[in-house]
Structure 1
């Protein structure tokens, strides 16, 4: 899934008011955390995930793993918050055409 800049901007606007639905604890990226992200993406399509890591490289590796494992599109990262989008079968969010 490749989103255009216009589509990402639209999704950023929709995500602005959202609170993180998945908070990663001290144990890092576990199977349980990935399962929660999957459930949240299936239900909401557009979510925020709080990635707790003091090291930038580790944080980036965790973000890359989340994207790889979920098949979601990274919309943006602000500090420790990652915004993800993955359309569900019901297509709850309408995004503009490219």
Structure 2
């Protein structure tokens, strides 16, 4: 899934008020961690992930691992140790942001 610049700007603006939901630590990405991110994206569509200082992986490595593990995932922004992730929800009752993104 590819987004236009206008859509990415909209997502970054919405994510500005969000706090990181998940933190990647020294264990890196595990299957359980990826499943939790998947479930959170289904309910929220837009989340932030923070990388702790003791992690051995970089933000770009986490982004590539997550995009390969989760279909339709888009990394809207990477700033330092913070990633903003977006994926449209499958269920209609959770599609709050994706309807606005599609309208842009």
- TM-score norm. by structure 1 comes to 0.87
CA distance in 1, matches of 2:41, 2:52: 19
The match for 1:95 is 101
5 Å-filtered alignment, 1:36-51, equals 36-51=36-51
5+ residue gaps, structure 1, are none
**Contact map agreement 2:25 2:54 (CA 8 A) in 1:** no
5 Å-filtered alignment, 1:1-98, equals 1-52=1-52, 58-59=57-58, 60-71=60-71, 72-89=73-90, 90=92, 91-93=95-97, 94-95=100-101, 97=103
C-alpha RMSD of matched pairs (Å): 2.0
Q: How many residues align?
A: 97
**Contact map agreement 1:77 1:83 (CA 8 A) in 2:** yes
After superposing on structure 2, the runs of 4+ consecutive aligned residues of structure 1 that deviate more than 4 Å are 53-56
- TM-score norm. by structure 2 comes to 0.83
Q: Which range is displaced more, 45-54 or 23-32?
A: 45-54
5+ residue gaps, structure 2, are none
CA distance in 1, matches of 2:62, 2:6: 26
